[in-house]
Amino acid sequence: MAEPHNHRTVGYCMIMVSASLVVIALLYLSIGDDVLYSDHVGKEKQLEYKQMLEKAAQETAAKSEGKNLSVDLNEQMKVQNNP
């Protein structure tokens, strides 16, 4: 071993490998036994997106009918003041 700088490089590489293994272990501890964690998150986000689309479609339909969804009243009601 004529080149002593290789020892330093190997040492830094070993530190990086051990740090990456620690990060993997921490991720495993935070996720736990749920190996399909990303699948569950994706399904939740897809459900939220579908609900948002349904709500937008209902609001659009209600606007075309002239209804106010916030209080569920017909905005086309005629108001008469009797003197």
pLDDT at 75: 53
Question: 67 pLDDT exceeds 80?
Answer: no
Neighbouring residues of 25: CB distance < 8 A, sequence distance ≥ 6: none
**Which H or E run includes 61?**
helix 37-65
Share of the chain above pLDDT 90, in %: 34
Q: What are residue 52's DSSP bridge partners? A: none
Q: Which residue has the higher pLDDT, 6 or 13?
A: 13
State both tokens at 43. 């399904």
Report, as an integer, the average pLDDT of 50-54: 92
